[in-house]
Amino acid sequence: MILELLSNPPVWRARLVAICAIAVAMTFALPMNSTRAASVSVSNFKLENGMEVVVIPDHRAPVVTHMVWYRVGAADEQRGVSGIAHFLEHLMFKGTKKIAPGEFSKIIARNGGQDNAFTGQDATAYFQRVAKDRLALVMEMEADRMVNLRLRDKDVVTERKVILEERRSRVENDPANILGEQMTAALYQSHPYGTPILGWEHEIRKLDAKAATDFYKRYYAPNNAILVVAGDVTVDEVKKLARATYGKLKPQMERVRSARPKEPPHRVPIRLNLDDPRAGRATVQRYYLAPSYTSAEPGEAEALDLMMKVVTSGTTSRLYKRLVVEQKIAASAGGWFSGSGLDSGRIGVYAVASDGVAIADVEKALDAVLAEFIENGATQKELDRARYSYIASHVYGGDSQVSLARRYGWALVNGRTIADVEAWPERLEKVSVEDLQRVAKKYFDMAQSVTGVLRPTEKKNAGTKEAGDEGGKS
């Protein structure tokens, strides 16, 4: 739950949320990169209509993972229609001239496959995992709904209720997510990353077929999409199938998303305190603005990944060892670097108080760990271990067809290249202990931060609105 809250993952379709939440959080806490077995040779080409295609051969089993990524996400929404990217993603499962409403996933399932979709701030993706001999079917169906979606008012009304319920269960019922949403809104004064992917409730209520159709017509087209096929296929097979399906679609003009406003410089630390009777243990979290792999100076994102690994990630991290193991004032502690954004990234740290420990003391201890690292930096051994850990987990990730497909899809949809992805291990090798200290000093900057404190309250106090009843304030 903490991970899901902190890493602001893309919004997956509701039915698979429970399964995917942790996996997603972990995946996006890691950089979207590759250290594949040498045997895998990724290639790409373009269809005449502008659609990019990436092929990742994997002949261990006769299955394929098929993904279509659109260069559009929640951050491309117009002001006032938040949630439309995610709403449309749901509506994509309704129907076309050929597919009856609600049949898409059933057809995939009847053919022994699984399908899903998700919406992020920068991308929207649809994917299926099927037996190799069903790839043609899947490509035909996905190409069909890329341009032939039919939206009946009835379906739109029903799906809007589903999404409002999704929002209620995920955000409204969980004070940690309420606080996370408000912290994110406070972290971005101008950039649309501050708006929740699910949308603000009052704006979701107004979403209709017209808004969805406008968004669909503007952004869904072959020249705004990337096809990733991983599995038991050859490049030639994919090329032939892609031409016969996606290749028949006409490109559309104006598929380029508008530039988002750049975030103005922040000058003042921000704090949010939420006391809620539904909260579990008292928790402190902090977000800091940081660059992403796309926006960072060369080497900085890699250094941020490694620095956060050393300082905050896992039970061997500085933070965990100090607060949980040695001082025993926290029940849990950690952090992450979210570096996959198109325009910027962020880093986050958190700690959960042990019983009877004041959250202010936990926060002081957390700050002391960060301050000590800024002062003294990492040892070479810590750096090497973090580097090894990333490389290892990416090699394991390379064993998973879905992980690999997602890694390349994420990179390409944000304007990076296959070469970028493949050079990542080399870039990691170049990072020094000085680099870690430098990015820690630069980005653990309170003026760029939002701190959230969540504390449980007695039920009798819930809902009062007395002035001064601000909970965590001193």
- Which residues are near its own copies by CB under 8 A? 79-80, 82, 178-179, 182-183, 185-186, 189-190, 192, 194-195, 200-203, 259-262, 264-274, 360, 364, 367-368, 370-371, 374, 441-442, 444-447, 451-452, 465-471, 473-474
Where are the extended beta strands (E) located within 95-194?
114-119, 124-131
Residue 9's Cβ-count burial label (10 Å; 0-12, 13-18, 19+) is buried
Q: Which 3 state secondary structure label does DSSP give 81?
A: coil
In the complex with its own copies, the residue whose CB is nearer, 137 or 185, is 185
End-to-end CA distance of the chain: 28
Bridge partners of 11, per DSSP, are 119
Taking Cα atoms as reference points, which of 175, 177, 99 lies closest to residue 138? 99
In the complex with its own copies, the residue whose CB is nearer, 127 or 336, is 336
Backbone angles phi, psi at 124, to 5 degrees: -130, 135
Q: How many C-beta atoms lie closer than 10 Å to residue 133's C-beta? A: 11
Distance separating alpha carbons of residues 254 and 50, to the nearest angstrom: 12
In the complex with its own copies, the residue whose CB is nearer, 34 or 82, is 82
142 noted as active-site residue:
no
Distances (CA, A) of 466 to 53, 66, 259: 58, 54, 43
DSSP states of 180-238 as a string?
HHHHHHHH-SSSGGGS-TT--HHHHTT--HHHHHHHHHHH-SGGGEEEEEEES--HHHH
Instruction: Name, in order, each residue with C-beta under 8 angstroms of 385's C-beta and a sequence gap of 6 or more.
Output: 310, 316
Give every strand in the sheet of 52-57, ordered side by side.
Answer: 11-12, 114-119, 124-131, 63-70, 225-231, 52-57, 43-46
Beta strand 270-276 pairing with 449-456:
parallel
Kindly state the smallest distance separating residue 294's Cβ from its own copies, in Å. Answer: 18
* Catalytic choice (4, 52, 77, 89): 89
Kindly state the smallest distance separating residue 25's Cβ from its own copies, in Å. Answer: 22
Whether the CB-CB separation of 119 and 74 falls below 8 Å is answered with yes
Q: Which 3 state secondary structure label does DSSP give 58?
A: coil
Distance separating alpha carbons of residues 332 and 336, to the nearest angstrom: 14
Kindly state the smallest distance separating residue 167's Cβ from its own copies, in Å. Answer: 11
Taking Cα atoms as reference points, which of 325, 435, 430, 327 lies closest to residue 378? 435
Kindly state the smallest distance separating residue 456's Cβ from its own copies, in Å. Answer: 15
In the complex with its own copies, the residue whose CB is nearer, 122 or 420, is 122
Active site residues: 89
